[in-house]
A = this chain, B = another copy of it.
Amino acid sequence: MTAAGEHSAPGAAAPALPVLAVAGLGLIGGSFALALRQAGMVSRVLGVGRQASTLARARDLGLIDCAVSAADAAAEADLILLAAPVGALGGILAEMGPALRADGVITDAGSTKMEVIAQARAALGHRIGQFVPGHPIAGGERTGPEAALADLYRGRAVILTPLPENTAPAIAMVRRAWEACGACVEEMEAAAHDCALASISHLPHLLASTYVVQVAQSADASRRLRLAGSGFRDFTRIAAGSPEMWRDIFIHNRDAMLAELAAMRNVLNDAEQAIAAGDGHNLQRMLEQAADVRRNWRQEQSE
């Protein structure tokens, strides 16, 4: 599929989303563009980003047809995906708001929803109905346009947290785009999303990162790191993720993070007391619950 889609042969079906815009051409945004191109859903893809070099690489890689400003993307696109770090979304939405096409729809890929929605309300005002919040549960440590994969979303969950102001056609447009990427779309309240993600994504990242810092601060850090094996490797893999992205997520999702941390501390304190007391019975009960849950999860997911 090339940028010539608008001049396609008579009889060819018009693509569902003639103009797609993607703000943030990394793994998430780039993969969305690639997948929709492959699905024949789009004719033109506009790229928005801060760094000209990233946009040039995205164009060379065929992710986008051309780079435009946020305002121009808002004026032209049928659908816009915001795939920049959540800390940058408010600013992008403020640039897009005044220029937004009357029937254009914006969605996002932010890992938190309550704070992004608050920023979208502030930026878009009475046009907030054109913003359908979303979050694809996918990712990886690879970053930049080169990391984009057409099948990144195949079989993965995408959560939409629609607003009361969203129209059914706007929600359907976003759902159809993600389904064309192969994703399984489900809807959820934004608050429930933020609690669930604080638990299964944000807290593990904080624990892995603080753990690595603690190891690095020890007097024999180099020996420890030299002896670390496959358990350490897997447990800390997420700590290699983007510091800026995770800083924004933690601050955006503060209340849910603090609640999960408090709950985690309670369980950890119980375990610590059992170790201190040599209480093998309670330790084993805790370890058995963890092993059971983890083994069953693995079977369900067939990893």
Indicate if the CB atoms of B138 and A213 lie closer than 8 Å: no
Indicate if the CB atoms of A293 and B231 lie closer than 8 Å: no
Known: A264-B211, A278-B251, A283-B250. A291 touches B243 (CB 8 A): yes
Set of chain B residues within 8 Å of A291, measured between Cβ atoms: 209, 239-243
Q: Which of A23-31, A55-63, A97-105, A192-200 contacts B (4 or more CB under 8 A)?
A: A192-200
Indicate if the CB atoms of A247 and B280 lie closer than 8 Å: yes
Set of chain B residues within 8 Å of A215, measured between Cβ atoms: 199-200, 293
- Is there a chain B Cβ closer than 8 Å to A15's Cβ? no
Set of chain B residues within 8 Å of A287, measured between Cβ atoms: 209, 243, 246-247
In Å, the complex CA distance between A227 and B240 comes to 21
In Å, the complex CA distance between A195 and B290 comes to 24
How many chain A residues touch B (CB < 8 A): the figure is: 90
| CB within 8 Å of B: which A217-272 residues | 217-218, 220, 223-244, 246-248, 250-251, 254, 257-258, 260-261, 263-264, 266-268, 271-272
Known: A220-B195, A263-B218. A275 touches B290 (CB 8 A): no
Indicate if the CB atoms of B205 and A267 lie closer than 8 Å: no
A243-B288, A251-B278 given; 19 more Cβ-contact pairs under 8 Å:
A157-B226, A196-B223, A200-B228, A200-B229, A200-B232, A204-B211, A207-B211, A209-B286, A213-B286, A213-B289, A216-B289, A237-B294, A240-B295, A243-B284, A244-B284, A248-B280, A250-B275, A250-B283, A261-B272
